[in-house]
Structure 1
């Protein structure tokens, strides 16, 4: 491969990294400087409250950038941009079906001397939650299947296996707090024999505190247990978010740190998360 082509690929990767998270920083700055606001504090607070509920009847498209550091002997940085559309479907007066999809675009750097780096699409995860339209004894519930599609454009970016499993959610929401738990377990179903089997459990407890005027402080952990390698990965995420209106579009911007309190050998130590969420409330 020619030197000019190598240079083009390096330039493209650098450009992609900048677009994937610096653009989200710009959106966060717009919220902070107060030049764009929601129509009213009550509307902003209502949308912020719905965003704290993963199975709320709110169409949203989050763009979430996770910039993490500490991979391999080089202590490398890695960036994953998750495109996460959430689409609720009203089945009848009593039941909703909520689709949550995660489409990751990954920049994976060299983690050891001589290793390759690559950028591309990872495996897609799609979850469906069947949820009562109203809380039951103060609890919002959801349960359904979860699927993993082997869409990775490079073997380094995905498991290479079709996956299936179960997912569920329970939460309690008041005017001053939202607390709950999402969880799933995924088994590999089919795929190349030369790729490892998959058996992963995800536990995601979360708590969110509304601060008024569309602001929310949230804390969660996305704890993953790999049953094949018997290894936990436990990041703690803290985020401050703001609902705003830019032109005619309702948005939520958020940012915060990630600290990995348990990690596999060669895994990340810490990171930063930025997100920009497009909101489409019912009119």
Structure 2
């Protein structure tokens, strides 16, 4: 039997038809009524803003954390690092109006306003912060101290115009704050003949306490991670910050739910030491 003659043109036609069938098969055939294949849904992008809680900057809010704390500098003679308890309670309050701070500044009061039994101290202790334009500025910290037996002293550490931390960062992104002027000031309390206490306000322009070195803060968002601490398991934002040479601070901030924004695990490490904190109990009252 004589075979039909094959030409290059007929071979190409058969190959083209085969390729077309293969392509149609891959997309479900050649029927116009076939359901198209849906592209995969985009995965959510992690951002530090997931762990931002605006209520933490509203007067009237507050939160408390009971910590399990370990510090390698407290190792015992037999090589054991003990676990101790620490409690931080933060109230969001307005700054003293006579200080003339920005209208959107608030104070995070993170400790009772007393020292060695004194209950007449002006209620100024804490960290003064300002939320604006996608960043948080630390303007001032104030701490009561007792350097002598006579009277307590309030120590101010301020930043002009403010030490900046961003609200939002992509995973793996680093933000270096602008170098800002920093100043320190300390004042003793004075009690007049009417038993009224007086303490000078901080010099918000720096006064004579301006330091020669500028202050900077580097913030890196390392991404989302689930952490388990005595208080439970939480989806968190892992943040690393450096403000002093050789000292690294890490925090794991809750990303969702009623504890959003609260740090449930932290670590500070430097030359020869490491301080770890894990939350055991958490409470909050948001305004």
Bin the TM-score by the shorter chain.
0.3 to 0.5
TM-score, reference length from structure 1: 0.45
> Greater strand percent: which structure?
1
Larger Cα Rg: Structure 1 or Structure 2?
2
Q: TM-score, normalised by structure 2?
A: 0.44
Structure having the higher helix fraction is 1
